[in-house]
Structure 1
């Protein structure tokens, strides 16, 4: 047993230690539930003082849970081992709190149960964190050893508590500690200060905390970061003798997992904010590009353009399409683009991008490929998956720098049997995956960098823009895939990607663009869009194609025109993103009265055709006049085309 050098007897010291805890500790008589001992936290929960509560029955303080309390004691006495329970308490103000408790029988030398120790703590916040992130969190282990008013039994509680409890001199020298962090021996701590175990910043924080306790004689709390990548929340209370602070009682809880969970939630929120911003920009930008392409097409058709003018119009069209590609990439970066996917082979994608890889890697770096033959297909966007491979190899090359090194790219099939919590953005579900590993012999990552490398605009390189790996994460998110990082300073880095194997039928190809649809149309098109510029440009294209056009600036206006029946409408060109009633709501409403009316849903954001509606299709903005006129001609009712 470790000696404790304090200027008070052991019973008082350990009672003070229990009183400094936030968990509730009580000792009760096994026969009638009479309270024999309780700490300050338990007394506060029962709204009384220790002196008032000792000797009273535990049942009289919980009249609505007498049966449950007796049953818990009965189970503990019958099984003669520690029993764990969880309960939901409704506070007087209506708030609900979750408590986890352990009931531990204390036996004398003859094996008779003479007392039952009840230890409870509030786990409400842990339960909320588990629910918010859909993750299983380990909860504090409940103290389960003997408890009694004797010093020996009180010491047993401290040594089995799920928190680190210490007694230190004012110069931070540790005189007693109930447990030490994993990998550290007690003999290396007793008689020493904990400063070598902490980062430089946390060393200063700890020194300042001890100064506050000594001067203010009050409880203080701080957060400490260890050199072993562990984090603690520490609470310090003064031990006072004859009016002077003689030593400091410390209680430290390892909060590493909680901090990692908070960091993951914060990273998700940042990506969600970036995605929301990207969607807004892409929507407005694609509307403008639709106007540009429409106006360019009209100018080309109406103007009888010379070769020089035609060349300029071609450049306008090409620039608009490149801008549209940039919008798509921006949505991919933000993880908001539902990428066009089809079955593909990961090995083939790696081979297709090998030429770009060779151009990106300098001569001092060797790239080795270890690809599993006959790798099953995955459902992917080949271009985007190639970008993932290229970005990961570029990142590995940057980590090696100018030194001689090697990058190993490998693939195989990997079976996930249990939750792999190190993967982001979400742990993969159990099943078979195509695994891509990119390993480099570079400098490795510091722990603080490893947790942030997927954050947008974060970079460990002096001139890096911090988008490479955030792009990777965004693309993988749209593919239902996940990635993990294994790295340590001086030990290189391995990026592991898990891609779901292909399980669905091949996707249909893109429609073939027509080239001869100008002035060949007949019928009436109802054009619904809240943007004046878009309506003006598209209505001009439709009229040039031979169609009559009725315009509406909102979903409600469109429904009113359809209800009036004049003029008869053969097709609706319907914008999806509008204030008030959007395109989807408008479509559902008009299907009540026009179940077979052709509808083209138009949007500057990725959309899927409505399921179960063969008369509705999707036209992605921006689109060329020829593409618009082709789709209108294909979908317009034959009766309307004959008008």
Structure 2
């Protein structure tokens, strides 16, 4: 039987058991409650999970799906069962696989993983953008057993963002691709944004954003005035202006358009967009165009020919002054003139051609529509086309009246030159024949008794020969081939020395007055030519005066400029001594004036004049590089103005020449060379008659042979200038090589520039003009031998 201790222990055990049973009951009840709470919680969260539009899933540590929420099917098109047991690597777009693996490993390792985005495959073959957030799953022992991931489909947002990005990129591309500068400003003129063009233009002032526009764009401390942007801010309207660029920049001028940026609700201006266009080249082009137009306008207005423009109806729209002057009009009447009213039908026909698309040309007489002007004109009419249609024309007109006069004068000068060449050529042979006639006549007269019946006949022959020689000399003077010995002259002294002879020449009924100019410049001329000019003019003036009259000779210094010479064809600008001879005679008409200097032209009766007087004067003046101007009208007298070039050197006094007594001849040796045998024999007879020893040769080669063979000295070479083989000048130089002291006398009908340039003798050269008299020859030879 148990003892009391055992009973007590049993009782205690029962009590403990009852207590334990009670606690167990309570624990069971609490567990049941906990299980119910857990179940409720699970049901609650499952409901939340399954109702969520976000995808909630769990992965084990191997990355296999252990749970997916129903939203997965809506988003990806796959059912939940499709994912369970599969690895997440099977549903990730390959490009995001490494990223996902990395985030999964780091999450298992306990790292805090921030939100990240991946792309997940869709059942239809596309992909979805997911934004993922997750945390680790632990067991009751705190060991990581997987990952819970919450994924949100952000495809729509991404698409929106992409569309927005593309839109922004498009706007940015547009912003940057605009070739004009764009500058966005805050209301206080601070730069908010600029495009690349502005950055390039103002790269020296970068960065531009945050700076005041007037500072970086214009280098100013205060806003520009005027400034279209300031006006835009104040008015709320778009504004425009042209403003200078940055000083020192190649952008000199900009065109600025300012547009307000407004709050869509309040309408308040919150900024300005500036469109900036570099118009430097445009402005330069405008300036160049303007300069070009001004140049062309200047050319148009200052052109020496007339230029005019007319429209398709033949109405003049533009004309320069020359065209207006050519048409004999005034500007007010010329502009707007209908060319169809012009009276000249041929002229009008050529203009009409251009209005039909053809080129027109007219040359001839034009009479102005006022009838006040007649002129010779030349006109080109050129049509102007626009897209194949005639829109008008251009007329280029020139008054060629003066040109035609010049052409007439040129033809006259050429004719005179031709006659001169003919006269010069004839004079040479003619002088040789005259020389034979005159020489033999003189020789015969010397040997004949004056009482002999033939003496008078021979005298008449000599007189006729001398007159013929004078006529030949006049021809040579006209042809500018007479040989002259110019000297420096004071024309006043020369004229004054001629007055007594001139007064005897013109007679007592005509008053001769000389008005000498003061401080007259010197001229270089042969004084004999001055005598010829004065004698010819005074005789002509005397013959033009009926009864009592007056002749006035004046001298003065004059200078001619380009403008004066332009109105006097043939004149050359320079300084001249002017000798004017005027008379009160009957004057001349235009026909006489046109033929004034023609050789053999005369208005005198037959036998009263040769017609060579003024032709001789013309030749003399031209030979001395001078000019003649003549003015005359019927019953109004005549004025001759003779311009002789000023010579720079000082005048030396001219010793008066006394007529020498007949030379006595001599006994020196003379080598005579002449290719005309008759002349050779005649001169030899003259020289031998004067006592000289004469060696003759008809050719230069014969003369050289004769001179080389001659044992003694030869004192004088007397040679013709123009000969076969070589001229007289070359012969003289050849003989000087072995007769260095040989004196030379040249003879010719004219010099042909062998010993004279343009008929002017070189210094130290002795010359005798054919034909010559026996006394003249004797005097000349003696003077040379004694010099």
Same fold (TM over 0.5): yes
Change (3 A) 1:374 1:247: closer
Q: Distance in 2 between matches of 1:500 and 1:175?
A: 49
Question: How far did 1:392 drift?
Answer: 6.3
Aligned to 2:556: 413
Question: How far did 1:438 drift?
Answer: 2.1
Aligned to 2:538: 390
Q: Considering Cα pairs closer than 8 Å and 6+ residues apart, tell me whether 1 or 2 has the greater RCO.
A: 1
Q: What are the within-5 Å matches in structure 2 for residues 272-421 of structure 1?
A: 272-301=417-446, 306-339=451-484, 343=489, 344-346=493-495, 349=498, 352-354=501-503, 356-357=505-506, 369=513, 371-372=515-516, 380-381=527-528, 382-390=530-538, 393=541, 409=552, 411-416=554-559, 418=561, 420-421=564-565
Residue 361 of structure 2 corresponds to residue 218 of structure 1: no
Change (3 A) 1:221 1:595: farther
Aligned to 2:582: 438
Change (3 A) 1:210 1:491: farther
Q: Is the 8 A contact 2:484 2:761 kept in 1?
A: no
* Aligned counterpart in structure 1 of residue 686 of structure 2, from 541, 544, 553: 541
Cα deviation code 1:309-360 (max 9, x no counterpart): 2332222222222221111122223333345667544356456434654689
Change (3 A) 1:544 1:620: same
Aligned to 1:586: 731
Question: How far did 1:235 drift?
Answer: 0.8
Q: Is the 8 A contact 1:350 1:389 kept in 2?
A: no
Cα deviation code 1:439-479 (max 9, x no counterpart): 76978866x98777545577899999976644432233345
Cα deviation code 1:24-63 (max 9, x no counterpart): xxxxxxxxxxxxxxxxxxxxxxxxxxxxxxxxxxxxxxxx
Aligned to 2:774: 625
Question: How far did 1:588 drift?
Answer: 1.9
Q: Distance in 1 between matches of 2:298 and 2:557?
A: 46
Question: How far did 1:529 drift?
Answer: 0.9
Q: Secondary structure at the match of 2:474?
A: helix
Q: What are the within-5 Å matches in structure 2 for residues 540-579 of structure 1?
A: 540-565=685-710, 569-579=714-724
Change (3 A) 1:535 1:461: closer
Q: Secondary structure at the match of 1:539?
A: helix
Change (3 A) 1:158 1:569: closer
Q: Is the 8 A contact 2:588 2:633 kept in 1?
A: yes
Q: Is the 8 A contact 1:233 1:253 kept in 2?
A: yes
Residue 289 of structure 2 corresponds to residue 147 of structure 1: no
Q: Is the 8 A contact 1:424 1:484 kept in 2?
A: no
Q: Distance in 1 between matches of 2:548 and 2:309?
A: 50
Cα deviation code 1:283-328 (max 9, x no counterpart): 2122112111222233345566753223322222222222211111
Q: Secondary structure at the match of 1:237?
A: strand
Q: Secondary structure at the match of 1:353?
A: helix
- Over aligned residues, Cα RMSD in angstroms? 5.1
Q: Is the 8 A contact 1:388 1:475 kept in 2?
A: no
Change (3 A) 1:466 1:522: closer
Q: Distance in 1 between matches of 2:505 and 2:338?
A: 55
Residue 311 of structure 2 corresponds to residue 166 of structure 1: no
Q: Distance in 2 between matches of 1:413 and 1:597?
A: 45
Aligned to 2:38: none
Cα deviation code 1:560-586 (max 9, x no counterpart): 322333576443221112234111121
Q: Is the 8 A contact 1:440 1:494 kept in 2?
A: no
Q: Is the 8 A contact 1:435 1:496 kept in 2?
A: yes
Q: Secondary structure at the match of 2:642?
A: strand
Q: Distance in 1 between matches of 2:298 and 2:573?
A: 42
Aligned to 1:14: none
Q: Secondary structure at the match of 1:114?
A: helix
Question: How far did 1:257 drift?
Answer: 6.4
Q: Secondary structure at the match of 1:166?
A: strand
Q: Secondary structure at the match of 1:294?
A: helix
Q: Secondary structure at the match of 1:436?
A: strand
Q: Distance in 2 between matches of 1:468 and 1:312?
A: 29
Q: Distance in 2 between matches of 1:193 and 1:392?
A: 54
Aligned to 2:332: 187
Q: Secondary structure at the match of 2:574?
A: coil
Q: Distance in 2 between matches of 1:483 and 1:601?
A: 33
Change (3 A) 1:212 1:442: farther
Q: What are the within-5 Å matches in structure 2 for residues 28-39 of structure 1?
A: none
Question: How far did 1:190 drift?
Answer: 4.7
Q: Distance in 2 between matches of 1:273 and 1:546?
A: 44
Residue 206 of structure 2 corresponds to residue 206 of structure 1: no
Q: Distance in 1 between matches of 2:740 and 2:311?
A: 82
Cα deviation code 1:197-245 (max 9, x no counterpart): 99xxxx4652564476678x53243434556576543111346799998
Residue 416 of structure 2 corresponds to residue 271 of structure 1: yes
Change (3 A) 1:407 1:168: farther
Q: Secondary structure at the match of 2:396?
A: strand
Question: How far did 1:416 drift?
Answer: 1.9
Change (3 A) 1:457 1:303: closer
Q: Structure 2: any 5+ residue segments left out of the alignment?
A: 1-249, 251-278, 368-372
Q: Distance in 2 between matches of 1:597 and 1:161?
A: 64
User: For this pair of structures, how many residues does the alignment match?
Assistant: 481
Provide the TM-score with structure 2 as the length reference.
0.50
Aligned to 1:31: none
* Aligned counterpart in structure 2 of residue 113 of structure 1, from 258, 281, 284: 284
Q: What are the within-5 Å matches in structure 2 for residues 489-504 of structure 1?
A: 494-499=639-644, 503-504=651-652
Q: Is the 8 A contact 1:214 1:245 kept in 2?
A: yes
**Greater fraction helix:** 2
* 480-489 vs 533-542, greater mean Cα deviation: 480-489
Q: Is the 8 A contact 1:391 1:469 kept in 2?
A: no
Q: Is the 8 A contact 1:173 1:191 kept in 2?
A: yes
Q: Is the 8 A contact 1:349 1:385 kept in 2?
A: no
Q: Distance in 2 between matches of 1:405 and 1:116?
A: 73
Q: Distance in 1 between matches of 2:513 and 2:610?
A: 28
Q: Distance in 2 between matches of 1:556 and 1:321?
A: 33
Which structure has the larger Rg? Answer: 2
Cα deviation code 1:233-291 (max 9, x no counterpart): 31113467999989654222455666566555544433332322222222212211211
